[in-house]
Every structure is written in C-alpha cells, then in structure tokens.
A and B are shown apart, each in its own frame.
Chain A
Amino acid sequence: MLLIKCPYCGERDQSEFTNGGEAHVTRPKNPELETDRGWAEYVFIRSNPKGIYYERWVHSHGCKKWFNAVRNTSTDEILLSYKIGETPPPIKKFQNRLKSPSGEPDVGSGNFAVKKP
C-alpha cells in the first residue's frame, strides 16, 4: 500500500485516496470551437507513459480535496504532491531511474526479480 502525501493532511495510506487519472488535462475554453478530434483528445486520450508522470488524486476518505502528484508508473514511487493550481517542476527535473531501452528500471519494476547474468 502506497503512502501518499495529501498537501492538506500529510502522509496517509493509499486506501484513503482515489486516483483521478492524468493531471493537467485542461478543459478547452471554447468546446464548440474544437474539432471532433480535438475534443476527443480532451475527453478520451491520456498519455499513460511508463515512467514519471503527473496525475490527480482525491483524498476521498479524508479532507475530500483534489490535488496533483508526480508518480513513476514503473516503480510506483510518488515523487511529489502539490495543490491544484500550483505549477510542478518539469518531468526532466525528477531523477529518472529508468535506464534500459525497454524502460525497465534495474530494480523495482517487479517484472524481473533476477539480476541478469
């Protein structure tokens, strides 16, 4: 179970939170001006990377506040959490432990338990 830091309450068990998908997907200011494609990008398309990315959480069994976090989806490390409206550092500022070309970290992904000879 992850330990997640709510920017309002502090570190709490994952079971108190609900994941809200990718963060910083802004709703278009003028939806009627969007093409079908553009609108679908906002509604349906998410980046879902293997590695570090911004995502939303809500402290649903706590203060009920939404906030954003930076998580490495490959290792489930949560690197930062911050309030809605705050600007996070760019992805490249975070230490990326991913080294191999396939994106597999050398430890922690759970895909390979044995060190390669």
Chain B
Amino acid sequence: MILDSKIPEGPLAEKWDKHKFNVKLVNPANKRKYEVIVVGTGLAGASAAATLGELGYNVKAFCFQDSPRRAHSIAAQGGINAAKNYQNDGDSVFRLFYDTIKGGDYRAREANVYRLAQVSVDIIDQCVAQGVPFAREYGGLLANRSFGGAQVSRTFYARGQTGQQLLLGAYSALNRQIAYGKVKMYPRTEMLDLVMVDGKARGIVVRNLITGKIESHSAHAVVLATGGYGNVFFLSTNAMGSNATAAWRAHKKGALFANPCFTQIHPTCIPVSGEYQSKLTLMSESLRNDGRVWVPKTVELAQRLRRGEIAINDIAEEDRDYYLERKYPAFGNLVPRDVASRNAKLVCDEGRGVGGSGLAVYLDFADAIKRDGQPAIAAKYGNLFEMYAKITDENPYEKPMRIYPAVHYTMGGLWVDYNLMTNIPGLYATGECNFSDHGANRLGASALMQGLADGYFVIPYTIGDYLAQMPYAKVSTDHPAFKEAEEAVIAKNQQLLSIKGTRTVDEFHKALGLLMWDYCGMARNAEGLQFAKQEIRKLRDEFWRDVKVTGVNEELNITLEKANRVADFLELGELMVDDALHRNESCGGHFREEYQTPENEALRDDENFAYVAAWEFTGVGNEPVLHKEDLKFENVKLTQRSYK
C-alpha cells in the first residue's frame, strides 16, 4: 500500500487556494441527490454537518449523548488560536504555522498545518457572526490571551468556557439546518460499525441506546468526527463516554491508524484523590499566564510539608523552586505542555512533590493577585477557581492550587490525506479523531481551531471533489454488506452478554488504564513497553472470558455500552504500545527514556523517524503492518526544540 498524502503542488502559501480551484464541484441542484453521514457533533462534526446542510447536501448526524450540544468539545476551557494579529505583536499566518510545526516537534505535515493557520482567521469571523460572545476590551473589540508554546497573544476566549461557546455556535447552525430539514439528527445513537460496498465507505451500523435496536444507515460518504481516545487510560480529562469505537471499528475495516502513541499529558490537572476517582479535571493552561509553578527546593522541605509539619507559608521565597522559570527563562511557565508535564514528573520523582501523595506541584496566584488584585484574576478565571474549590474544598485565592499532569488529548488518530479522507474511499475523519495537524504534541488552543477549520472550511470543499465523481444511486440498507455488518454487531453484543463472568467492565478498564499510564504514559522505555504488551494481551483474554455484562441488548443498557467501548480500548491499547515501541526516538509527548539529551529533553532522530507511522490492522492478536508516510520539510528547518 502506498500512502498518498495528496498534497497539492506549488508554494506552501498557494497550495490551498490552488487546490480549492482545482477540486471538482457539485452543481447546487445536484447536491440534494447526495447523502452524507456525519458521526459526532462536537466542533468538528457539528460544523461539518451544518455547513454541508447549508450547501444543500442531505446530512444525517449522530451522537451518543442526548443532545448534539453535549459533545465533549463543550468542556474546552481556555481558548482558540487565530492568526488575526489584532494585538499587533508580530503574529502572522506563517508564525502560527511555524509555532504549530515546532510545537509538534516536527512530526506534522507542513501543508495541512499551513492551511490550518490560514483558515484560522475565518473561524473567528464566523463565530462572531453566529453570536459567540468572545471576551472583549473596553473599546468593544475582541480580547486575546497567551497560550503555551507561543510568544504572541493570539488566543481568543470566552472566559473559561470557550469550548462551550464555540460549540453552542456550531450547535445553533446545526439546529437551523435541522429545522430546514437538511440535517436529520440522531442523538443517543452509537455507531458500532462501518459498512463498505465495492471498497467504498457507504454507511454505518448503529445501536439506538434507548431501545437497543440495531439499525443501518446508507450514504454516499461517511465523516467520522468522533473525538479522541484518551479514555484508553481510564482516567483522563475526557468525558466518561468519550471512546474510540467508531474510529477503531473503521480501523478494523481497513482504515489506517496513525501515530497512536502520540498522546498529550496535560500539565495542569487536579491530582487524583482516591481509588474511586472516575475522571480527572483540567485546570486550563491559560492559568499559566498568571500562575507560577513551584515545588520546595529540597526533598526534606517537601517531606515535612507533606507530613503537615510545616505550612506552605513557612516555606521562604528562596526555598521555592520555580523550576520552569529557572530552566526555561524565555518561555517560563508558558513552555509547551509536554515540557511542563515532564518537568512536573521529574520533580515529583525526585521526591519534591506536594500534597498528600507527593504527586502534585503548586500553581501559585499570590503574585498575580498582589499585582492585579483579586477581582481582575476572578474576571479571567473565576469559573476555574470555583471548580477547583468545589472539587478540592480548598480556596485557590488563598492557597496555591495543587496540580499534576493527566491524559488530555490524542494527537494520533485515523490517517487522512490532505482532503481529510482516510485510505478508505469516501471515509473522512475530522477533528481529534484524525491525526493530521499536531504532530507529536498539540499546542494549547489549537484543537478547537482544528475542529472548526476541518468542519467549516475544509471538508465542505474536499468532500465535493469526491461526491462529484460518485453516481447518485443509493445503496439500499438491504444490501448484503449491511446485513453482514448488522449480524456481526448483534453477534458481538450477544457474546458480551453471554460471558456472565465475575469481573465488571470498569475493573478491566481501570486495569488497562493503569498499565497504559505506567508504561505508555509520560515516559516510556522498551522493557516496560514489552511488558505492557504481554499484560494487555492477558487482560484482553481475561475480559473475553470473565467480564460480567448484565441485562439484554433490547433495552437501555449502560453496561453493554461500556463493554463495547472497553473491548475496543483493549485492542487499541496494544497498538499504542506497538507504536511507542517501534519509535526509537523521543519527540513531543512521546518520551522514550533511552533517547534524551543531557538536559533531559526529548532527543529526536530525524534521520530515521521523520515519518508518520500508519498502522494496518491484520486481526486481533496479530502484529499490525506499518506503513510510512515520509514528512518533507521545505519551509522550516528542523532544529532541536528549545524554549530556553
């Protein structure tokens, strides 16, 4: 198989415009003859479904929540990047492109990232036109803040609820199309398989989560916008329902899965408080604009603090180690996420961590409150401070926050070409579900940008190019390919229900999560990864022998829903380990302990690993096949990332 990224010819800055001119168009009157399925209604899915509806296509949209507005994009806090240069601080499309490529540690495609930076400016215009209430200055113009990995202020925000406001904008556009009858919405409906006819994606099989009914939907193209797979780790900042099932089942039908080991561990999350913990809560990176990260200078001080022998205020200023400011004077507390996370782990491993468990560092606002006053800080971060207080029962205006890294985002995902099409004709992947734009590490405020770029401004063009070459004729859901897929889904559900074992789905999920966190998390090494691979296989075997799923298929069955998702995580986890094991270098969020600089920074091997690793499924328990897409850098020079 040859991976053709379909990157258009020509200079970087002209590729997208040229491509838009060259793609085939579907005549307005003919658009209504095509049906498109969009799975997922987060930023990536809702924006695509609404825009395709506006263009005249007939769209069916699906989500597993009870309303499209509840997709996990709603939880994004900090902001969205755009190269508007409203602050006149030297920003430009090229700078946003450059920061994103560098932040991703040179493992993303230049052409895709450049296009992302280009359309970023249109996103802000679109959202404002929809009524998204972004933060504003007193003069009435839009305000910006800074985010990690950038030295300009280009992040647009709506207090600490940017994702909510952007998604509600997309949801409103979606609602308008639902009202017009151009989009038919299927909430509480979970995709469980992809259906292919003559080698093309032609539909999906879903389960109605209220009645359990298994149904098929046919279309001319299928777009997966189903989010990330961070919940492989059980504990993450993702929503409880976030899952990999749609993408994974497409992978099992032939779609390649790219860079699965590139996961982002976010540095500022509320630490784990106990065994019962069901998820982790992010404290937005924007807090690092004003909060200073520190731990005690010595192990001894940290120990006494943990034992409660001294209080935080007993630690003199000179005994506090603001380690990010010390090691990275140029970026300070605003270094990229992978760097911040790794350093938090480092100081905790040294024994200098705080909190009861020693697995936390301080994020301190005392100086900012002294400088700007409490009301100013409350205006910027009020809801985050409240959330912190609710969860921990501590007041962050008086006491520094305790934070620790947690799984947050997955850069890996389904392999797509420049058109966002997977290697299966007619199957597209957008948003966090694809692998495309963030390389080995995503910069803050860039996922919202990518989701909306894909949905509003990329797929509406590129899907037309494909549809223009498709016959209007529909495939009936009575076609044997649909029946076969339905039967397989039903059989799998029956199998899960018939095991009647002794261990719950959550027990397996937690065990898998722990393996992934310990061996395929912030730091990895070959020995640990090999061990994890064997353990995951054992766990998967036990799952299929001993899992306990009660009830029947034909009802609202929360255990069966979870069991399907965890069954897929147990397979995906192994692929992540395989990928991490094969990549004998460190880059971005992938830190192999064997490959580091004397200063403990990630040591890339551009000679041997400047490629996208796209994996082909060959059966559960079989070794996957690796396909490489070489990355060519013509506009940036590959350098050792430095934030000093």
- Asked if chains A and B come from one complex, the reply is no
Task: Please give the residue numbers on chain A whose beta carbons come within 8 Å of chain B beta carbons, in ascending order.
Answer: none
Task: Please give the residue numbers on chain B whose beta carbons come within 8 Å of chain A beta carbons, in ascending order.
Answer: none
